[in-house]
Chain A
């Protein structure tokens, strides 16, 4: 009896540990037997512009836990197709079986984070043109794409802009239709019509119809139209007072120096890894700029789409806090890592993107190099 109570107490402590690590990202439905849902994100140094997937992981244990592994399931996910989600869940389930008899709640969440980090890139085709979003083997065809922040659906920037332009044009035309067809017998507006009119100056995701704001997409258009210097100016204008201060702050200066030395280090190792030039526009959009042939790797054809990175983004370090040198979509497990101690996690919500610089893992670099040589 005493042993049982002790075991239960241990499990309760484990649940507390998950809460300590995941903070607001963890919702506990039951302490014992444990039933909780944890919002798991890839390790992107809390840079939301670099995040393409996420999972609300459900863990439901029986009173026999941990002797009996808990049931794990996906409550909700973003950016994961059926296959990837199934793989993710079955991997966590396997891990749970492997860890039977041991406390595993935190480990399972971390395992989910690890797998998500490896999956942290948009998958599949652009829903508008049906061509791949991310080209695996031909970097000439890698087009800039963007992510809708509300639903994580990704599109080629050109494709979504074309559609936005069409919506505007359609809007202008619909008034004409109203008068020309008023002789018809079916004049009652459908619900979707009303919805459309209500969303007059808004766009909606072509895939899931979640509404986004006109401002967001106009911003993307400006960015796509502008050349680099104009683009910098445009972003600088949009920065709030805080950010302007940041730009001139000591910390920012240090950050730039760090970037410089990091670049040198990377160059020493193989001269190939270059950050992808990314722009993050909060809160709506993510844009990656058109690829410029990296001069140092001209002629090399690597299998990594990251190789489409522009060399200019490194040779002249970002001047605004909004321009990220990241580009580590696929391997985000390098430092800086989230502290593994039981400390509350920082909430990335609403944080400006692109302030973090991440080193890529040496292993990754070697892999890319090897790739480039073949």
Chain B
């Protein structure tokens, strides 16, 4: 599983390329509301701007998601993290790692960048308080060697938030 820890090292497979080109084309026709793809020529790493939804704790704020695609995307989940500064959220660690099941165990190849974005925004929007996860410091310390969130055995917090 070394490929997942260094997702950008191995080039995309032909199938992954085709699929991503299709996703990008569809994104350009109709991006998910609140998201903006930052144009780059690197198909394997997308940087996406997300605006906090109106009427939520994050209204008026803008964050950046970095999506790295593994060689065998979409069989394998993309690595999705928030770039610094990550939003204060009970499921988002200060290093940008996101505790969201669909990014790990519950990933399915029928999901898309677009559907992942929508899930993340809905997670943000339903936040009851701007705070870090209880185990933030310990977790972030453990990740100092540059560990990918995909290597973490996540224990998912309750699904409500």
A residues engaging B (CB < 8 A)?
127-131, 162-163, 166, 170, 173, 176-177, 180-181, 184-193, 196, 206-207, 209
CA distance A188 to B22 in the complex (A): 37
Question: What's the minimum C-beta distance from A195 to chain B, rounded to whole angstroms?
Answer: 9
Given A181-B153, A184-B152, residue A206 in contact with residue B139 (CB < 8 A): no
Bound form: Cα–Cα A129–B16 in Å = 9
Contact: B75 with A129, CB < 8 Å? no
B110 near A127 (CB under 8 angstroms)? yes
Verify B105–A188 contact, CB threshold 8 A: no
Q: What are 11 sample pairs from A and B whose C-beta atoms fall under 8 A apart?
A: A127-B109, A129-B18, A176-B1, A177-B151, A184-B142, A185-B138, A186-B152, A192-B106, A206-B108, A206-B109, A207-B108
CA gap between A180 and B5 in the complex, in Å: 13
* Beta-carbon contact of B75 and A163 below 8 Å: yes
Residues of B within 8 A of A176 (CB): 1
How close is B75's CB to chain A, nearest CB, in angstroms?
A: 4
CB within 8 Å of A: which B114-161 residues: 135, 138-139, 142, 151-156
**Smallest Cβ-Cβ distance to B74: which chain A residue:** A128
Q: What 0/1 pattern do residues 32 to 55 of B give for CB contact below 8 A with A?
A: 000000000000000000000000
Instruction: Say yes or no: A207 contacts B110, CB within 8 Å.
Output: yes
Note all chain A residues with C-beta closer than 8 A to B152.
181, 184, 186
B22:A130 contact, CB within 8 angstroms: yes
Residues on B facing A (Cβ under 8 Å): 1, 15, 18-19, 22-23, 26, 72, 74-76, 101, 105-106, 108-110, 112, 135, 138-139, 142, 151-156
A185 engages B139 (CB within 8 Å) = yes
- Beyond the given pairs A130-B19, A186-B152, A190-B154, 5 more chain A to chain B contacts, judged by CB atoms under 8 angstroms and listed by A's residue number, are A130-B22, A162-B75, A173-B1, A187-B153, A189-B155
A112 to B18, CA, bound (A): 38
Chain A positions within 8 Å of B156 at CB level? 190-191
Question: Is there contact, CB below 8 Å, between A162 and B155?
Answer: no
Number of A-B contacts (CB under 8 A): 68
Q: How far is the CA of A183 from the CA of B96 in the complex (A)?
A: 21
Contacts of A173 in B (CB 8 A): 1
Check A190–B23 contact: CB distance below 8 A.
no
A346 to chain B, nearest CB (A): 34
Q: A131-B22, A184-B153, A185-B138 are known contacts. Are A162 and B15 too (CB-CB below 8 A)?
A: yes
Q: Is the interface of B mostly helix, strand, loop or mixed?
A: loop
For the complex formed, measure the closest distance between the CB of A147 and the CB atoms of chain B, giving whole angstroms: 15
Cβ of A84 to closest chain B Cβ, rounded Å: 19
Which listed residue, A131, A170, A181, A186, touches B155 by the CB 8 Å rule? Answer: A186
Beta-carbon contact of A166 and B106 below 8 Å = no
Q: Which residue of A lies closest to B153 (CB)?
A: A186
Q: Are A177 and B1 in contact (CB under 8 A)?
A: yes
Q: Knowing A129-B15, A129-B22, A185-B142, say if A190 contacts B110 (CB, 8 Å).
A: no
How near does chain A come to B16, taking the closest CB pair, in angstroms?
10
Across the interface, which residues of A come within 8 angstroms of B101, CB to CB?
190, 192
A141 CA to B10 CA, complexed, in Å? 29
Contact A186 B154 (CB under 8 A): yes
B105 touches A196 (CB 8 A): yes
Inside 8 A of A192's CB, which chain B residues have their CB?
Answer: 101, 105-106
Are B108 and A130 closer than 8 Å at their CB atoms? no
**Closest chain A residue to B21 by CB distance?**
A130
| Chain A residues within an 8 Å CB radius of B109 | 127-128, 163, 206
B153: chain A residues within 8 A (beta carbon):
181, 184, 186-189
**Nearest 10 A-B pairs (CB), nearest first?**
A166-B75, A127-B110, A206-B110, A188-B155, A192-B105, A130-B22, A206-B108, A207-B110, A192-B106, A186-B153
Which residue, of B15, B23, B101, B110, has the highest number of chain A Cβ atoms within 10 A? B110
Residues of B within 8 A of A181 (CB): 151-153
Residues in A whose Cβ lies below 8 Å from that of B105: 190, 192-193, 196
Bound-state CA distance A173–B75 (Å) is 14
Instruction: Kindly state the separation between the CA atoms of A166 and B139 in the bound complex, as whole angstroms.
Output: 30
Looking at B18, B72, B109, B151, the one whose CB has the most chain A CB atoms below 10 A away is: B109
